[in-house]
Structure 1
C-alpha cells in the first residue's frame, strides 16, 4: 500500500507541473500546518474596515503577528493580552484573528476557547480544573503545534488557575512530538479598562487627537490595574512575574462617531439601508460618560444590534 501511494505521488508530480508536494500532502492528509493559513494583509484590511477607533489594537496585533510568523523557529509561543471595557471590540477582533489565521476560521479544530463561567465555574474544583487544563493544552499541542488557545473574561478567572499553563508560555518547556513554540495564546480581559478610559479622557480634555495615544501612555496603567486586582486571573500569577506576556493590546473607549460607524455596519450586515435618522437615533439612545460631558459610550458597540431591532 505504501509503495502504491509513493508511486501515485511520483506519477502525479511528474505529469503535472502545477502539483507541489506540500499542496498534495494537504489534499491527502489532515494536517494542522495545512489548516494554518495566515493572511495578515487581509486581517489588517478587515481591522481597518470593521473595527472602529482602535488604532493601537490594530497596530500592535498586526506587528506582533508579523514578527512571530516571519520565523519557522520562534523562541517561545506568542502571548497576547487584550484589555478594555466591554463593547470595545476585544472578542470581535479575536474572531477576526482566528478567521485570518486558519483555513476553517472559528470552526478549526485547532482553535480552543475557554470561558471561566462555562469551563471553570466552581472555585472548590480549581485543582481539578488545573489538571484538566494542563492535559488539554499539552494534548492539543502534541496534536498540532499551530494551536491557538483563547481565554475569555480573565477578570473572572479563579486566581491561581491559569498558572498551570505558565510553563507552556516560556522558552524552555518541552512538549514531546511538537514544536509548541509555534502556538498562540490570547487572554481577554475587561481589567485595565478604567485606566485606559482615563488616559483617553485626558487626551480629549487636552484637545489632543485620539490617534496620538501611544502604547506607553496606557500599558503601565493597565499593568498596575491587573496587578492590583485580587479577583483577576492574573493575581500574583507567574505569567506576570515571569513577564511571559509578549504584547498588551489596549482597546480604547468609543466616541459617538465610532458608535454611528457600528450602527451603519450592523445595518449593512442586516441588508438594510443606513438611513441617517435611524443611525443617529440609535447612537443617541446609548449612555455616554462622563455624565456631564458625554464623551465615550458606556457599552461600546455591544448593544447596537438590540437597539436597531428596537427602533425598527
Structure 2
C-alpha cells in the first residue's frame, strides 16, 4: 500500500512540476509585456532584456513542456470535452419551406433572343374610322339644326312680337320655345298643336296675324293658312261643306310642303265658333297614326275659351298678394286643361299658352302705338284721358283692362 501511495504521489508531483513551470513562464511573459507597454524606449537595455526573456519563454512553451501541459490539462479537465459521441445532432421541428424558383425562359439555340413585338390590329383602324364618321354625323346634324332655325328667321319673329305685343312676355317666350324646338328638324312623331287661350283684347289674334305675316315672307303663301271661322264657315248649316273644304285644304298644303321640304303653318282663329263636327274633322289631323307628311305640321288654335277662368285665377292671386310671374303660366295652364278637355278632346293633344289680362300701362302703350300709326301726336294727358274711358278690374293698386286693347282702335278713330 505504501509503495502504491508513494508511486502515486510521485506521479502527482511530476504532473504538478510539469504544470508549474509553464505557468511560471506564462506569468513572466505577461509581466514583461506589461513593462514594455509602460513606455520603455527601444534603446533601453532593460527593454532588450525583457524582449530576450519573452522570446526564450516562447521557445520553452513551444517544446515538450507545452505539449505535456496541454495533454495533462485536457485529460484532467472536468468542464470541457470534445467527445463527439456525447453530442447529439440538433433537429429542427419546423419544416423549411422551399422557395419555388421561377423557370427561366429558354430560347432555341438557333434563334435570336428578343422581346415579342406588338402587332397593330386592323380592327383599331376600323374603330377609329367609325368614331370619326359618328363625330362628323353629329356635327353635321347640329349644323343642320342651326340651318333650319336660320331658314325660318325665328329671332326676327321674336323681336317683332316683343315690340308689337304688350303685356304677354311669358306667352311670347313659351310660343317661341315651342316653335324653335319643333322647327329645328324635319322629322317628327306628331304635329305641333298650340292653343292660344285668354280674355278678349289681350293680343292673341294679333300674334296670330304676326305669325301668318312672318311665315308667308320666309316660306311663301302656299305653306301658310290663316283660317277665320266667321269668314270661311259663317253658317252652321254648311258644316259638312266646311269640313270637306278644310280637310281638302289641309291635305293639299301638307302634300305640297312635303315635296318642298317645308313645315306648313295653319292658324285657326275664332275656334270657339267652330261646330263639334268641324272640331272632329280638325282633331283627326292631330293624331299620331298618320303618314309622315301629316306629322310635319304646325297648328295654332286661337280662341277666347277659358278666358273667364284665367280672369278669376289672376284676380284671386292679385288679391292674395301673389304677383310672381313664375307661377302664372304653369298654374293657369293647369286650371285651363280640364275646362278645354271638357269642350272637346282635341285639346288633350295641344300645348296650351295662356294669355293674361293687360294692365293700365299696357293700355297706354296701345293708345300710343295706334296714334303714331294714324299720324296723331300722342300727348301724355290725352293718352291718360283716352285710357281712363275704358273699364278696369281694380285690385288694390293694380288695374286690369276688362276688354284689353280691343276698343283702342275705335277710340282713336273717333279723334
Settle same-fold status: TM greater than 0.5: yes
Instruction: Name the residue aligned to 2:182.
Output: 68
Point out the structure with the larger helix share. Answer: 2
CA distance 1:307–1:210, change in 2 (3 Å): farther
Instruction: Name the residue aligned to 1:167.
Output: 284
CA RMSD of aligned residues (A): 2.5
8 Å contact from structure 1 (residues 150, 187) kept in 2:
yes
Distance across 1 between alignment mates of 2:369 and 2:324: 22
Distance across 2 between alignment mates of 1:165 and 1:41: 30
Superposition deviation, residue 109 in structure 1: 3.0
Match of 2:402 among 298, 306, 309: 298
8 Å contact from structure 1 (residues 260, 279) kept in 2:
yes
Matched, 1:244 2:358: no
SS of corresponding position for 2:196:
strand
**Structure 1 length normalisation: TM-score?**
0.76
Superposition deviation, residue 294 in structure 1: 7.7
Instruction: Name the residue aligned to 2:374.
Output: 270
User: Which stretch shifts more, 183-192 or 284-293?
Assistant: 284-293
Instruction: Name the residue aligned to 1:112.
Output: 225
**Structure 2 length normalisation: TM-score?**
0.58
User: Which stretch shifts more, 274-283 or 288-297?
Assistant: 288-297
Superposition deviation, residue 151 in structure 1: 1.3
Match of 2:244 among 101, 122, 131: 131
Match of 1:220 among 316, 331, 334: 334
Matched, 1:96 2:216: no
Distance across 2 between alignment mates of 1:124 and 1:48: 40
Distance across 2 between alignment mates of 1:153 and 1:123: 14
Q: Report how many residues are paired.
A: 263
Distance across 2 between alignment mates of 1:208 and 1:274: 34
Match of 2:325 among 193, 211, 214: 211
User: Which stretch shifts more, 211-220 or 49-58?
Assistant: 211-220
Superposition deviation, residue 66 in structure 1: 0.9
8 Å contact from structure 2 (residues 311, 356) kept in 1:
yes
Instruction: Name the residue aligned to 1:307.
Output: 411
8 Å contact from structure 2 (residues 202, 356) kept in 1:
yes
8 Å contact from structure 2 (residues 239, 278) kept in 1:
yes
Instruction: Name the residue aligned to 2:194.
Output: 80
Distance across 1 between alignment mates of 2:157 and 2:184: 16
Report which structure shows greater RCO (CA 8 Å, sep ≥6): 1
